Homo-oligomer: A and B are copies of this chain.
């Protein structure tokens, strides 16, 4: 799931699809719903995940019966179900870091007025696990659950701290190194960034995901040297040196607080 089957035709995919395991189909369905973020008809779902209609009907029925999916109202559309919400809450309950991290992110964005996020690696991909929007008039886009190429972000540089170059290379595709504005990042530069971020204990990137923001990030450790998550602030790119410094200080402080008791 982590890559290569949503982007389909890329690498060593069996072209004609042939026979696919039911479980895999289900995983694709869930992932598809996660990207669409809305209920969808079963027929379209089948098209979307490139699965036979008959199979899709069967699987969806199973999932609806199990409560992982729900039929939306009276239409023939499906979306995530209560069961998934309950399992998700179970995850939160079993995960101190996430629970406290969410709290801390909410605090931070309330105190600073800036957009704040908690980020983690999710099957080798950068993921915004929790976000709190801040109070600025222009809305900085960042939805929970969004997945972004690691090299585009400050958090990405911290999350990979301590990995070997080879490992890093394995987690970053060539496409990932191409920034939204078309510029191509050199892998070596990225690796250097990571090493630097590791030493300084924080990371700032300017105008990477878009030209108007910069991203401040600080690491949360689950064990000495092991970066489990990052907290970050997304601020306008013209934020003054002084304020940026303040925010970084605050951010590092809070991230450190999260680290200790884990």
Contacts and interface: CB of A to CB of B under 8 A. Distances in A.
A59 B92 CA distance: 23
Q: Is the interface of A mostly helix, strand, loop or mixed?
A: helix
Interface string A101-129: 00000000000000000001011000101
A145 interface: yes
Given A22-B22, A23-B23, A82 B122 contact: yes
Contact of A87 (B1, B65, B88, B94): B88
A62 interface: yes
A80 interface: yes
B86 A86 contact: no
Q: How many copies does the complex hold?
A: 2
Contact of A66 (B1, B81, B89): B1
Interface string A71-87: 00000000111111111
Given A2-B67, A82-B129, A83-B122, 16 more contacts: A1-B65, A2-B66, A24-B62, A27-B66, A27-B68, A34-B87, A37-B93, A81-B91, A82-B91, A82-B120, A84-B88, A84-B90, A85-B88, A86-B145, A88-B88, A88-B89
